[in-house]
Structure 1
Amino acid sequence: MHRRLMNPAGWLLPVLLAACGQTHHSLQAVGPLRLRPGIYAVSDLDRVQLASLPRDRTLFLLPVGMLEEHGPHLPTGSDNLQLDAEVRALLPALGKRFPDWFVLTLPTLPYGVGGANGFSGDPIDPGTYALDKDTLRDVVRELTAQVAQNGFRWTFVLYTHGAPDHAKAIFDACDAVSDKYGVTVANLSGTMWSDPDRVKESDALRARYFSPAQRARMQHDIHAGANETSLLLAEAPAAVRPLWRRLPPVAGDSMLAVFRQARRPGWPGYVGMPSLANARYGREKLASNVRFDLRLIAAALHGDNLRKRPRDD
Protein backbone atom coordinates (compact mmCIF):
# COMPACT_ATOMS: atom_id res chain seq x y z
CA MET A 1 0.00 0.00 0.00
CA HIS A 2 2.84 2.39 0.76
CA ARG A 3 4.42 1.83 -2.65
CA ARG A 4 1.03 2.28 -4.29
CA LEU A 5 0.45 5.58 -2.51
CA MET A 6 3.78 7.03 -3.59
CA ASN A 7 3.42 5.96 -7.22
CA PRO A 8 1.96 8.90 -9.22
CA ALA A 9 0.45 6.35 -11.62
CA GLY A 10 -1.45 4.64 -8.78
CA TRP A 11 -5.10 5.09 -8.06
CA LEU A 12 -4.95 6.37 -4.48
CA LEU A 13 -2.86 9.50 -4.90
CA PRO A 14 -5.22 11.16 -7.43
CA VAL A 15 -8.17 10.39 -5.16
CA LEU A 16 -6.45 11.99 -2.19
CA LEU A 17 -5.43 15.03 -4.23
CA ALA A 18 -8.99 15.51 -5.45
CA ALA A 19 -10.32 15.23 -1.92
CA CYS A 20 -7.90 17.97 -0.85
CA GLY A 21 -9.07 20.29 -3.61
CA GLN A 22 -5.92 19.75 -5.65
CA THR A 23 -5.70 19.02 -9.35
CA HIS A 24 -3.25 18.11 -12.07
CA HIS A 25 -2.95 20.36 -15.10
CA SER A 26 -5.70 19.95 -17.66
CA LEU A 27 -6.65 21.33 -21.05
CA GLN A 28 -10.19 21.82 -19.72
CA ALA A 29 -11.60 23.55 -16.65
CA VAL A 30 -11.38 21.36 -13.55
CA GLY A 31 -14.12 21.42 -10.91
CA PRO A 32 -16.63 24.18 -10.21
CA LEU A 33 -15.73 27.71 -11.26
CA ARG A 34 -14.15 29.42 -8.25
CA LEU A 35 -14.06 33.01 -9.53
CA ARG A 36 -16.32 35.55 -11.14
CA PRO A 37 -15.35 37.06 -14.50
CA GLY A 38 -12.97 39.95 -14.01
CA ILE A 39 -9.35 41.02 -13.82
CA TYR A 40 -6.87 39.04 -11.76
CA ALA A 41 -3.13 38.82 -11.14
CA VAL A 42 -1.96 35.23 -11.56
CA SER A 43 0.29 35.67 -8.54
CA ASP A 44 -2.77 36.33 -6.34
CA LEU A 45 -4.63 33.15 -7.31
CA ASP A 46 -4.25 29.59 -6.10
CA ARG A 47 -3.94 26.57 -8.36
CA VAL A 48 -7.53 25.40 -7.76
CA GLN A 49 -8.90 28.78 -8.83
CA LEU A 50 -6.71 28.79 -11.92
CA ALA A 51 -7.63 25.23 -12.84
CA SER A 52 -11.34 26.08 -12.68
CA LEU A 53 -11.18 28.87 -15.25
CA PRO A 54 -12.99 28.39 -18.57
CA ARG A 55 -10.36 27.98 -21.24
CA ASP A 56 -12.51 29.65 -23.90
CA ARG A 57 -13.10 32.83 -21.87
CA THR A 58 -9.70 33.46 -20.30
CA LEU A 59 -6.86 35.56 -21.68
CA PHE A 60 -3.39 36.21 -20.32
CA LEU A 61 -1.25 39.34 -20.52
CA LEU A 62 2.54 39.04 -20.25
CA PRO A 63 4.26 42.43 -19.82
CA VAL A 64 7.96 42.50 -20.75
CA GLY A 65 9.96 45.45 -19.45
CA MET A 66 13.51 46.75 -19.73
CA LEU A 67 16.13 48.18 -17.39
CA GLU A 68 18.02 50.68 -19.51
CA GLU A 69 19.76 54.03 -19.31
CA HIS A 70 17.49 56.93 -20.24
CA GLY A 71 19.83 59.89 -20.12
CA PRO A 72 20.32 62.19 -17.13
CA HIS A 73 16.63 63.06 -16.75
CA LEU A 74 14.77 59.73 -16.67
CA PRO A 75 15.29 56.65 -14.46
CA THR A 76 16.64 53.36 -15.76
CA GLY A 77 13.24 51.81 -15.11
CA SER A 78 11.45 54.20 -17.48
CA ASP A 79 10.25 51.46 -19.80
CA ASN A 80 8.79 49.57 -16.85
CA LEU A 81 7.02 52.70 -15.61
CA GLN A 82 5.51 53.29 -19.05
CA LEU A 83 4.54 49.64 -19.31
CA ASP A 84 2.88 49.66 -15.90
CA ALA A 85 0.86 52.72 -16.92
CA GLU A 86 -0.26 51.07 -20.16
CA VAL A 87 -1.31 47.86 -18.43
CA ARG A 88 -3.17 49.82 -15.72
CA ALA A 89 -5.13 51.67 -18.39
CA LEU A 90 -5.73 48.58 -20.53
CA LEU A 91 -7.10 46.30 -17.81
CA PRO A 92 -10.31 48.20 -17.00
CA ALA A 93 -10.89 48.75 -20.72
CA LEU A 94 -10.68 44.99 -21.26
CA GLY A 95 -13.02 44.36 -18.33
CA LYS A 96 -15.58 46.74 -19.79
CA ARG A 97 -15.27 45.38 -23.34
CA PHE A 98 -15.36 41.72 -22.27
CA PRO A 99 -17.44 41.56 -19.06
CA ASP A 100 -17.83 37.76 -19.22
CA TRP A 101 -14.11 37.08 -19.57
CA PHE A 102 -11.30 36.37 -17.15
CA VAL A 103 -8.31 38.65 -17.77
CA LEU A 104 -5.14 37.41 -16.09
CA THR A 105 -1.87 39.30 -15.79
CA LEU A 106 1.43 37.51 -15.36
CA PRO A 107 4.14 39.33 -13.38
CA THR A 108 6.19 41.70 -15.51
CA LEU A 109 9.51 40.44 -16.80
CA PRO A 110 11.71 43.44 -15.94
CA TYR A 111 14.50 42.77 -18.46
CA GLY A 112 14.63 43.05 -22.23
CA VAL A 113 17.10 43.16 -25.11
CA GLY A 114 19.27 45.90 -26.54
CA GLY A 115 19.99 48.99 -24.45
CA ALA A 116 20.13 52.31 -26.29
CA ASN A 117 23.68 52.73 -25.01
CA GLY A 118 24.51 50.52 -27.97
CA PHE A 119 24.09 53.63 -30.11
CA SER A 120 27.36 54.83 -28.64
CA GLY A 121 29.13 51.61 -29.56
CA ASP A 122 29.37 50.49 -25.94
CA PRO A 123 27.16 47.51 -25.04
CA ILE A 124 27.92 47.97 -21.33
CA ASP A 125 26.54 50.92 -19.41
CA PRO A 126 26.02 51.56 -15.68
CA GLY A 127 22.34 52.23 -16.39
CA THR A 128 21.56 49.18 -18.55
CA TYR A 129 21.07 45.55 -17.49
CA ALA A 130 19.73 43.49 -20.35
CA LEU A 131 19.40 39.99 -21.76
CA ASP A 132 20.59 38.68 -25.09
CA LYS A 133 18.01 38.00 -27.77
CA ASP A 134 18.02 34.22 -27.44
CA THR A 135 17.56 34.37 -23.67
CA LEU A 136 14.51 36.62 -23.88
CA ARG A 137 13.05 34.52 -26.69
CA ASP A 138 13.46 31.36 -24.62
CA VAL A 139 11.97 32.87 -21.46
CA VAL A 140 8.91 34.23 -23.27
CA ARG A 141 8.51 30.97 -25.17
CA GLU A 142 8.70 28.81 -22.05
CA LEU A 143 6.26 30.93 -20.05
CA THR A 144 3.67 31.24 -22.79
CA ALA A 145 4.04 27.54 -23.65
CA GLN A 146 3.04 26.66 -20.09
CA VAL A 147 -0.06 28.84 -20.47
CA ALA A 148 -0.90 26.88 -23.63
CA GLN A 149 -0.15 23.53 -22.01
CA ASN A 150 -2.77 24.35 -19.39
CA GLY A 151 -5.35 24.74 -22.15
CA PHE A 152 -5.54 28.54 -22.27
CA ARG A 153 -5.86 29.81 -25.81
CA TRP A 154 -4.97 33.50 -25.75
CA THR A 155 -1.84 35.23 -24.50
CA PHE A 156 -0.81 38.77 -25.42
CA VAL A 157 2.70 40.12 -24.83
CA LEU A 158 3.13 43.85 -24.17
CA TYR A 159 6.19 46.06 -23.91
CA THR A 160 7.31 49.66 -24.43
CA HIS A 161 10.98 49.07 -25.27
CA GLY A 162 11.67 49.66 -28.95
CA ALA A 163 14.88 47.79 -29.78
CA PRO A 164 14.48 45.70 -32.97
CA ASP A 165 16.09 42.60 -31.42
CA HIS A 166 13.71 42.89 -28.47
CA ALA A 167 10.72 42.80 -30.82
CA LYS A 168 12.17 39.98 -32.90
CA ALA A 169 12.84 37.81 -29.85
CA ILE A 170 9.23 38.20 -28.73
CA PHE A 171 7.78 37.64 -32.19
CA ASP A 172 9.86 34.47 -32.57
CA ALA A 173 8.68 33.16 -29.20
CA CYS A 174 5.03 33.95 -29.91
CA ASP A 175 5.12 32.34 -33.33
CA ALA A 176 6.80 29.18 -32.03
CA VAL A 177 4.23 28.61 -29.28
CA SER A 178 1.29 29.48 -31.52
CA ASP A 179 2.45 26.96 -34.10
CA LYS A 180 3.26 24.18 -31.66
CA TYR A 181 0.07 24.30 -29.61
CA GLY A 182 -2.48 25.73 -32.02
CA VAL A 183 -3.21 28.74 -29.80
CA THR A 184 -2.88 32.50 -30.14
CA VAL A 185 0.22 33.96 -28.53
CA ALA A 186 0.54 37.45 -29.96
CA ASN A 187 3.15 40.17 -29.78
CA LEU A 188 0.56 42.83 -29.07
CA SER A 189 2.91 45.82 -28.86
CA GLY A 190 4.95 44.88 -31.91
CA THR A 191 1.71 44.63 -33.89
CA MET A 192 0.12 47.74 -32.40
CA TRP A 193 3.06 50.01 -33.19
CA SER A 194 2.92 49.06 -36.88
CA ASP A 195 -0.84 49.32 -37.27
CA PRO A 196 -1.38 51.78 -40.17
CA ASP A 197 -4.33 53.47 -38.46
CA ARG A 198 -2.34 53.84 -35.27
CA VAL A 199 0.58 55.40 -37.19
CA LYS A 200 -1.81 57.92 -38.78
CA GLU A 201 -3.33 58.77 -35.42
CA SER A 202 0.12 59.17 -33.89
CA ASP A 203 1.16 61.57 -36.66
CA ALA A 204 -2.04 63.59 -36.22
CA LEU A 205 -1.55 63.75 -32.47
CA ARG A 206 2.01 64.99 -32.88
CA ALA A 207 0.80 67.67 -35.30
CA ARG A 208 -1.57 69.03 -32.65
CA TYR A 209 1.19 69.59 -30.11
CA PHE A 210 4.28 70.45 -32.14
CA SER A 211 5.09 72.89 -34.93
CA PRO A 212 6.26 71.66 -38.34
CA ALA A 213 9.81 72.69 -37.48
CA GLN A 214 9.66 70.82 -34.17
CA ARG A 215 8.20 67.74 -35.82
CA ALA A 216 10.98 67.76 -38.38
CA ARG A 217 13.55 67.67 -35.60
CA MET A 218 11.56 65.00 -33.76
CA GLN A 219 11.62 62.66 -36.75
CA HIS A 220 14.10 60.41 -34.97
CA ASP A 221 12.96 61.07 -31.40
CA ILE A 222 13.48 57.43 -30.47
CA HIS A 223 14.93 57.28 -26.97
CA ALA A 224 14.27 59.37 -23.86
CA GLY A 225 13.31 62.33 -26.03
CA ALA A 226 10.05 64.27 -26.22
CA ASN A 227 7.93 61.14 -26.65
CA GLU A 228 9.15 59.15 -23.66
CA THR A 229 9.61 62.18 -21.45
CA SER A 230 6.02 63.22 -22.19
CA LEU A 231 4.73 59.77 -21.21
CA LEU A 232 6.66 59.88 -17.93
CA LEU A 233 5.52 63.44 -17.18
CA ALA A 234 1.96 62.20 -17.63
CA GLU A 235 2.16 58.94 -15.69
CA ALA A 236 5.09 59.23 -13.27
CA PRO A 237 6.02 62.93 -13.01
CA ALA A 238 7.99 62.47 -9.81
CA ALA A 239 10.40 60.23 -11.71
CA VAL A 240 11.38 62.97 -14.19
CA ARG A 241 14.38 65.08 -13.20
CA PRO A 242 13.80 68.85 -13.56
CA LEU A 243 16.74 69.31 -15.91
CA TRP A 244 14.68 67.84 -18.79
CA ARG A 245 13.64 71.38 -19.69
CA ARG A 246 17.24 72.45 -20.33
CA LEU A 247 18.57 69.49 -22.27
CA PRO A 248 19.85 70.23 -25.78
CA PRO A 249 18.56 68.19 -28.72
CA VAL A 250 20.31 65.15 -30.08
CA ALA A 251 18.73 65.18 -33.51
CA GLY A 252 19.47 64.84 -37.19
CA ASP A 253 17.85 64.52 -40.59
CA SER A 254 18.67 60.81 -40.76
CA MET A 255 19.35 57.92 -38.42
CA LEU A 256 22.94 57.91 -39.67
CA ALA A 257 23.34 61.52 -38.53
CA VAL A 258 21.86 60.63 -35.15
CA PHE A 259 24.17 57.65 -34.73
CA ARG A 260 27.16 59.83 -35.52
CA GLN A 261 26.19 62.14 -32.69
CA ALA A 262 25.75 59.21 -30.32
CA ARG A 263 29.25 57.98 -31.17
CA ARG A 264 30.84 61.22 -30.08
CA PRO A 265 32.46 61.38 -26.63
CA GLY A 266 30.07 62.61 -23.97
CA TRP A 267 26.83 61.42 -25.59
CA PRO A 268 24.17 62.16 -22.91
CA GLY A 269 22.23 58.92 -23.32
CA TYR A 270 19.14 60.12 -25.20
CA VAL A 271 18.10 60.63 -28.81
CA GLY A 272 15.58 63.35 -29.49
CA MET A 273 14.37 66.54 -27.86
CA PRO A 274 13.38 66.04 -24.22
CA SER A 275 12.84 69.77 -23.71
CA LEU A 276 9.75 69.64 -25.94
CA ALA A 277 7.99 67.16 -23.65
CA ASN A 278 4.36 67.82 -22.75
CA ALA A 279 2.34 65.88 -20.18
CA ARG A 280 -0.96 66.35 -22.04
CA TYR A 281 0.63 64.93 -25.17
CA GLY A 282 1.89 62.01 -23.11
CA ARG A 283 -1.58 61.27 -21.73
CA GLU A 284 -3.14 61.32 -25.18
CA LYS A 285 -0.35 59.18 -26.60
CA LEU A 286 -0.90 56.56 -23.91
CA ALA A 287 -4.66 56.61 -24.44
CA SER A 288 -4.15 56.08 -28.17
CA ASN A 289 -1.89 53.09 -27.57
CA VAL A 290 -4.44 51.54 -25.23
CA ARG A 291 -7.26 51.99 -27.75
CA PHE A 292 -5.27 50.13 -30.37
CA ASP A 293 -4.22 47.46 -27.88
CA LEU A 294 -7.89 46.88 -27.14
CA ARG A 295 -8.83 46.87 -30.81
CA LEU A 296 -6.20 44.24 -31.65
CA ILE A 297 -7.13 42.00 -28.73
CA ALA A 298 -10.79 42.17 -29.75
CA ALA A 299 -9.85 41.31 -33.32
CA ALA A 300 -7.83 38.30 -32.18
CA LEU A 301 -10.61 37.01 -29.93
CA HIS A 302 -12.99 37.22 -32.89
CA GLY A 303 -10.72 35.11 -35.07
CA ASP A 304 -8.40 37.62 -36.76
CA ASN A 305 -4.89 36.22 -37.27
CA LEU A 306 -2.66 39.05 -36.03
CA ARG A 307 0.35 37.39 -37.63
CA LYS A 308 -0.92 38.59 -41.01
CA ARG A 309 -0.70 42.23 -39.93
CA PRO A 310 2.34 44.52 -40.27
CA ARG A 311 5.05 43.93 -37.67
CA ASP A 312 7.44 46.21 -35.84
CA ASP A 313 10.44 43.90 -36.05
Structure 2
Amino acid sequence: MLRLDRQPWREVRAAGERGAIALLPVGSQEQHAAHLPMGTDTLLAEAVVDAALARLAPAGGDPELVRLPALPFGHSPHHLFAAAVSLSAATLQAVLADVLDSLVRSGFRRVLLVNGHGGNDEIVRLAVKRCALERDVALGACSYWALGDGGSPGHAGRFETSLMLAAHPDLVAPVPPWRAPAEPPLFHRPPAPGLLVERHGEWERVGGTTDDARAADAETGRELFDARVEALAGAIRAFAAATDRSHGGGTREDH
Protein backbone atom coordinates (compact mmCIF):
# COMPACT_ATOMS: atom_id res chain seq x y z
CA MET A 1 0.00 0.00 0.00
CA LEU A 2 1.21 3.47 -0.88
CA ARG A 3 0.27 6.53 1.15
CA LEU A 4 -0.41 9.46 -1.14
CA ASP A 5 0.75 11.95 1.48
CA ARG A 6 4.04 10.09 2.04
CA GLN A 7 5.17 9.36 -1.51
CA PRO A 8 6.84 11.51 -4.18
CA TRP A 9 4.47 12.55 -6.93
CA ARG A 10 6.03 10.41 -9.64
CA GLU A 11 5.44 7.25 -7.61
CA VAL A 12 1.81 8.21 -6.99
CA ARG A 13 1.15 9.03 -10.64
CA ALA A 14 2.84 5.87 -11.85
CA ALA A 15 0.69 3.79 -9.49
CA GLY A 16 -2.48 5.34 -10.84
CA GLU A 17 -1.42 4.74 -14.42
CA ARG A 18 -0.66 1.09 -13.56
CA GLY A 19 -4.26 0.69 -12.47
CA ALA A 20 -3.90 1.14 -8.72
CA ILE A 21 -7.07 1.96 -6.78
CA ALA A 22 -7.11 5.27 -4.93
CA LEU A 23 -8.92 4.82 -1.60
CA LEU A 24 -10.36 7.75 0.34
CA PRO A 25 -11.83 7.42 3.86
CA VAL A 26 -14.53 10.04 4.54
CA GLY A 27 -15.45 10.94 8.11
CA SER A 28 -16.95 13.72 10.21
CA GLN A 29 -16.42 15.84 13.31
CA GLU A 30 -19.50 15.79 15.52
CA GLN A 31 -20.75 15.06 19.01
CA HIS A 32 -20.66 11.42 20.10
CA ALA A 33 -22.22 11.82 23.54
CA ALA A 34 -20.08 12.46 26.63
CA HIS A 35 -17.77 9.46 26.28
CA LEU A 36 -16.53 9.41 22.65
CA PRO A 37 -14.46 12.00 20.77
CA MET A 38 -15.93 14.18 18.06
CA GLY A 39 -13.68 12.51 15.51
CA THR A 40 -15.09 9.03 16.14
CA ASP A 41 -16.43 8.57 12.59
CA THR A 42 -13.13 9.57 11.01
CA LEU A 43 -11.07 7.50 13.43
CA LEU A 44 -13.14 4.37 12.85
CA ALA A 45 -13.19 4.78 9.06
CA GLU A 46 -9.39 5.09 9.09
CA ALA A 47 -8.93 2.14 11.44
CA VAL A 48 -11.15 -0.19 9.39
CA VAL A 49 -9.57 0.93 6.12
CA ASP A 50 -5.99 0.48 7.33
CA ALA A 51 -6.71 -2.93 8.85
CA ALA A 52 -8.41 -4.05 5.63
CA LEU A 53 -5.50 -2.86 3.52
CA ALA A 54 -3.11 -4.74 5.79
CA ARG A 55 -4.91 -7.96 4.81
CA LEU A 56 -4.40 -7.37 1.11
CA ALA A 57 -1.23 -8.58 -0.60
CA PRO A 58 -0.60 -7.08 -4.05
CA ALA A 59 2.26 -9.54 -4.57
CA GLY A 60 -0.26 -12.34 -4.11
CA GLY A 61 -2.71 -11.00 -6.64
CA ASP A 62 -4.60 -8.43 -4.62
CA PRO A 63 -5.00 -4.94 -6.13
CA GLU A 64 -2.42 -2.20 -5.69
CA LEU A 65 -3.80 0.61 -3.54
CA VAL A 66 -2.98 4.23 -2.85
CA ARG A 67 -4.47 5.37 0.45
CA LEU A 68 -5.40 9.06 0.64
CA PRO A 69 -5.51 11.05 3.88
CA ALA A 70 -9.00 10.88 5.34
CA LEU A 71 -11.41 13.70 4.65
CA PRO A 72 -12.14 14.69 8.27
CA PHE A 73 -15.27 16.80 7.75
CA GLY A 74 -18.69 15.60 6.69
CA HIS A 75 -22.36 16.56 6.54
CA SER A 76 -23.48 16.86 10.18
CA PRO A 77 -26.08 19.64 10.51
CA HIS A 78 -28.24 17.35 12.67
CA HIS A 79 -25.53 17.47 15.36
CA LEU A 80 -25.05 21.23 15.46
CA PHE A 81 -27.44 21.40 18.43
CA ALA A 82 -24.53 20.05 20.49
CA ALA A 83 -21.22 20.40 18.65
CA ALA A 84 -20.09 19.64 15.11
CA VAL A 85 -17.99 20.99 12.28
CA SER A 86 -20.32 20.45 9.36
CA LEU A 87 -20.15 20.93 5.63
CA SER A 88 -23.36 21.58 3.72
CA ALA A 89 -24.45 18.81 1.38
CA ALA A 90 -23.56 21.02 -1.60
CA THR A 91 -20.11 21.81 -0.20
CA LEU A 92 -19.28 18.16 0.57
CA GLN A 93 -20.47 17.15 -2.88
CA ALA A 94 -18.30 19.87 -4.44
CA VAL A 95 -15.27 18.83 -2.36
CA LEU A 96 -15.66 15.20 -3.40
CA ALA A 97 -16.14 16.22 -7.03
CA ASP A 98 -12.88 18.20 -6.91
CA VAL A 99 -11.01 15.36 -5.21
CA LEU A 100 -12.24 12.83 -7.78
CA ASP A 101 -11.44 15.18 -10.66
CA SER A 102 -7.94 15.74 -9.26
CA LEU A 103 -7.33 12.01 -9.00
CA VAL A 104 -8.46 11.44 -12.58
CA ARG A 105 -6.21 14.25 -13.81
CA SER A 106 -3.36 12.68 -11.83
CA GLY A 107 -3.68 9.38 -13.68
CA PHE A 108 -6.14 7.31 -11.62
CA ARG A 109 -8.99 5.46 -13.28
CA ARG A 110 -10.27 3.59 -10.21
CA VAL A 111 -11.29 5.20 -6.92
CA LEU A 112 -13.10 3.82 -3.89
CA LEU A 113 -14.68 6.05 -1.22
CA VAL A 114 -15.10 4.44 2.23
CA ASN A 115 -17.53 6.40 4.35
CA GLY A 116 -17.62 6.47 8.15
CA HIS A 117 -20.62 8.75 8.84
CA GLY A 118 -24.30 8.14 8.16
CA GLY A 119 -24.96 11.73 7.14
CA ASN A 120 -22.46 11.38 4.27
CA ASP A 121 -23.87 8.20 2.77
CA GLU A 122 -26.12 9.57 0.03
CA ILE A 123 -23.61 12.30 -0.82
CA VAL A 124 -20.62 9.99 -1.39
CA ARG A 125 -22.77 7.73 -3.55
CA LEU A 126 -24.01 10.65 -5.62
CA ALA A 127 -20.43 11.90 -6.01
CA VAL A 128 -19.26 8.68 -7.64
CA LYS A 129 -22.36 8.45 -9.82
CA ARG A 130 -21.89 11.97 -11.16
CA CYS A 131 -18.16 11.59 -11.78
CA ALA A 132 -18.60 8.27 -13.61
CA LEU A 133 -21.13 9.90 -15.93
CA GLU A 134 -18.61 12.55 -16.93
CA ARG A 135 -15.24 10.80 -16.86
CA ASP A 136 -13.80 7.52 -18.16
CA VAL A 137 -13.43 5.97 -14.71
CA ALA A 138 -14.70 3.19 -12.45
CA LEU A 139 -15.70 4.42 -9.01
CA GLY A 140 -17.11 2.82 -5.88
CA ALA A 141 -18.60 4.00 -2.59
CA CYS A 142 -19.56 2.21 0.61
CA SER A 143 -20.15 2.83 4.28
CA TYR A 144 -17.89 0.47 6.23
CA TRP A 145 -20.59 -0.72 8.66
CA ALA A 146 -23.07 -1.63 5.90
CA LEU A 147 -20.92 -4.17 4.04
CA GLY A 148 -21.67 -7.87 4.29
CA ASP A 149 -24.31 -8.52 6.92
CA GLY A 150 -23.78 -5.19 8.65
CA GLY A 151 -26.83 -3.48 10.07
CA SER A 152 -27.54 -0.02 11.42
CA PRO A 153 -24.73 1.00 13.78
CA GLY A 154 -26.71 3.57 15.71
CA HIS A 155 -24.92 6.61 17.08
CA ALA A 156 -22.62 6.77 20.11
CA GLY A 157 -24.17 3.58 21.45
CA ARG A 158 -23.10 -0.04 21.78
CA PHE A 159 -21.74 -0.45 18.23
CA GLU A 160 -19.52 2.63 17.98
CA THR A 161 -18.43 2.49 21.60
CA SER A 162 -17.42 -1.18 21.29
CA LEU A 163 -15.45 -0.41 18.11
CA MET A 164 -13.68 2.50 19.80
CA LEU A 165 -12.84 0.30 22.80
CA ALA A 166 -11.15 -2.04 20.32
CA ALA A 167 -9.49 0.54 18.07
CA HIS A 168 -8.82 3.54 20.37
CA PRO A 169 -9.51 2.58 24.00
CA ASP A 170 -7.48 5.53 25.26
CA LEU A 171 -10.04 7.91 23.75
CA VAL A 172 -13.10 6.38 25.41
CA ALA A 173 -14.28 8.11 28.60
CA PRO A 174 -16.56 6.52 31.21
CA VAL A 175 -20.02 6.01 29.80
CA PRO A 176 -22.67 8.08 31.57
CA PRO A 177 -26.12 6.76 32.50
CA TRP A 178 -28.55 6.64 29.59
CA ARG A 179 -32.32 6.90 29.66
CA ALA A 180 -34.22 5.48 26.71
CA PRO A 181 -36.57 8.07 25.21
CA ALA A 182 -40.27 7.45 25.73
CA GLU A 183 -40.69 7.56 21.95
CA PRO A 184 -37.79 6.04 19.92
CA PRO A 185 -36.53 8.30 17.12
CA LEU A 186 -37.99 7.47 13.73
CA PHE A 187 -34.67 8.01 11.94
CA HIS A 188 -33.27 5.02 13.85
CA ARG A 189 -36.34 2.77 13.88
CA PRO A 190 -38.53 3.61 10.88
CA PRO A 191 -42.20 2.62 11.06
CA ALA A 192 -41.92 0.50 7.89
CA PRO A 193 -38.97 -1.38 6.32
CA GLY A 194 -37.22 0.71 3.70
CA LEU A 195 -39.01 3.91 4.71
CA LEU A 196 -36.85 6.91 5.59
CA VAL A 197 -38.44 9.23 8.14
CA GLU A 198 -36.85 12.45 9.39
CA ARG A 199 -38.67 14.58 11.95
CA HIS A 200 -37.63 18.01 13.16
CA GLY A 201 -35.85 18.08 16.51
CA GLU A 202 -35.48 14.30 16.91
CA TRP A 203 -31.72 14.25 17.48
CA GLU A 204 -31.86 16.90 20.17
CA ARG A 205 -34.91 15.27 21.78
CA VAL A 206 -33.07 11.96 22.28
CA GLY A 207 -29.83 13.63 23.38
CA GLY A 208 -27.85 12.70 20.28
CA THR A 209 -27.54 9.01 21.25
CA THR A 210 -29.55 6.13 19.80
CA ASP A 211 -28.93 3.37 22.35
CA ASP A 212 -27.24 2.52 25.65
CA ALA A 213 -23.45 2.54 25.32
CA ARG A 214 -23.05 0.80 28.69
CA ALA A 215 -23.67 -2.46 26.81
CA ALA A 216 -20.39 -1.94 24.91
CA ASP A 217 -17.19 -3.87 25.63
CA ALA A 218 -13.81 -4.36 24.02
CA GLU A 219 -14.33 -8.05 23.17
CA THR A 220 -17.53 -7.25 21.29
CA GLY A 221 -15.66 -4.40 19.64
CA ARG A 222 -12.89 -6.70 18.43
CA GLU A 223 -15.47 -9.07 16.93
CA LEU A 224 -17.36 -6.25 15.24
CA PHE A 225 -14.13 -4.68 14.05
CA ASP A 226 -12.79 -7.92 12.58
CA ALA A 227 -16.05 -8.52 10.74
CA ARG A 228 -16.07 -5.01 9.26
CA VAL A 229 -12.41 -5.30 8.25
CA GLU A 230 -12.96 -8.65 6.54
CA ALA A 231 -16.04 -7.33 4.75
CA LEU A 232 -14.18 -4.26 3.49
CA ALA A 233 -11.19 -6.31 2.32
CA GLY A 234 -13.62 -8.52 0.40
CA ALA A 235 -15.36 -5.49 -1.08
CA ILE A 236 -12.03 -4.05 -2.26
CA ARG A 237 -11.14 -7.35 -3.93
CA ALA A 238 -14.58 -7.50 -5.55
CA PHE A 239 -14.33 -3.90 -6.77
CA ALA A 240 -10.88 -4.60 -8.20
CA ALA A 241 -12.02 -7.73 -10.03
CA ALA A 242 -15.19 -6.12 -11.38
CA THR A 243 -13.27 -3.11 -12.73
CA ASP A 244 -10.17 -4.94 -13.95
CA ARG A 245 -10.93 -4.13 -17.59
CA SER A 246 -10.64 -0.41 -16.80
CA HIS A 247 -6.93 -0.63 -15.97
CA GLY A 248 -6.14 1.09 -19.23
CA GLY A 249 -9.68 2.16 -19.96
CA GLY A 250 -10.18 5.13 -22.18
CA THR A 251 -7.68 7.63 -23.39
CA ARG A 252 -5.74 9.30 -20.64
CA GLU A 253 -6.13 13.04 -20.74
CA ASP A 254 -2.94 15.10 -20.71
CA HIS A 255 -2.92 18.16 -18.50
Correspondence for 1:132: 88
Deviations 1:140-191 (A, max 9, x none): 111112212233221111121112xx2111111111112222211211327x
Tell me the amino acid that sits aligned with residue 162 of structure 2. S
**1:7 alignment counterpart:** none
TM-score normalised by the chain length of structure 2: 0.80
Deviation at 1:302, TM superposition (A): 1.5
User: Gaps (5+ residues) in structure 1?
Assistant: 1-38, 118-123, 204-219, 306-313
Amino acid at match of 1:241: A
Alignment of 1:46-85 (within 5 A): 46-53=8-15, 55-85=17-47
Secondary structure at the aligned position of 1:255 is classed as coil
* 2:239 equivalent to 1:300: yes
Cα distance in 2 for residues equivalent to 1:40 and 1:221: 30
The amino acid that maps onto 2:221 is G
What residue number does 1:226 align with? Answer: 158
Higher relative contact order (CA 8 A, sep 6+): 2
State yes or no: 1:177 paired with 2:131: yes
> Which residue of the partner structure matches residue 187 of structure 1?
141
The residue type equivalent to 2:238 in the other structure is A
Q: Find the aligned partners of 1:269 and 1:99 in 2 and give their Cα distance.
A: 44
Check the 8 A contact 1:112/1:131 in 2, yes or no: yes
Structure-2 residue corresponding to 1:248:
179
| Cross-structure match for 1:290 | 229
CA distance in structure 1 between the aligned counterparts of 2:153 and 2:78, rounded to whole angstroms: 12
Provide the TM-score with structure 1 as the length reference: 0.66
Residue 56 of structure 2 contacts residue 233 of structure 2 at CA under 8 Å; is this kept in 1? yes
Equivalent AA in structure 1 for residue 104 of structure 2: A
* Identity percentage of aligned residues: 25
2:178 is aligned with what amino acid?
L
Query: 1:141 matched to which residue of 2?
Result: 97
CA pair 175-92 structure 1, distance change in 2 beyond 3 A: same
2:45 maps to a residue whose letter is L
Could you tell me whether the CA contact under 8 Å between 2:185 and 2:202 is conserved in 1?
no
Q: Secondary structure at the match of 1:297?
A: helix
In structure 1, the residue matched to 2:71 is: 109
Matched with 2:115 is 159
Q: Determine the C-alpha separation between the residues in 1 that align with 2:86 and 2:134.
A: 28
Per-residue deviation, 1:126: 4.9
Letter in 1 for 2:154: I
Mapped partners of 1:97, 1:250: distance in 2: 52
Q: State the alpha-carbon separation in 1 of the partners of residues 227 and 183 from structure 2.
A: 27
SS of the counterpart of 2:209? coil
Aligned partner letter, 1:298: R
What pairs up with 1:79-98 in 2 under 5 angstroms? 79-95=41-57
* SS across alignment from 1:52: helix
Amino acid at match of 2:117: H
Cα-Cα RMSD: 2.8
Counterparts of 1:284 and 1:149, CA distance in 2:
40
Conservation of the 8 A alpha-carbon contact between 2:115 and 2:124: no
Q: 238, 242, 256: which is aligned to 2:170?
A: 238
